[in-house]
Amino acid sequence: MLFSPKKPPKNNVSVPLFTESDIGKKVSVDGFDSEGVIVFVGSHHLNKTLKIGVVFDKPVGKMNGTIDGHKYFECEENMGLLAMPQKVKLC
């Protein structure tokens, strides 16, 4: 399944497309001092925008895979992040 942003990017900024086949790939996320692995590609349960779930190698994340009671993936506390695709880059 191919996911793309709901709204076109502003200022002609290219937004990478991610698919479920990217799960397991090593990535970096802008603003975070650790690499990680994609564990989720899909829509946010409330606003339906594309999100990329990342589990970091170090505890620099903001979550454990669950937001407001909705489980996107599982990881240790502070190891995960649900990121905007334009912040995620394949390593």
In the structure encoding, which two tokens stand for residue 25, read together? 């790939």
Torsion sign over Cα 25, 28, 1, 66: positive
- Residue 16's pLDDT is 74
Q: Is 78 exposed, middle or buried (0-12, 13-18, 19+ CB in 10 A)?
A: middle
Residue-wise pLDDT for 6-48, tens only, equals: 444 455 556 678 999 999 999 999 999 999 999 999 999 999 9
Pairing of strands 35-43, 18-19: unpaired
Cα first-last separation, the chain: 22
pTM of the model: 0.84
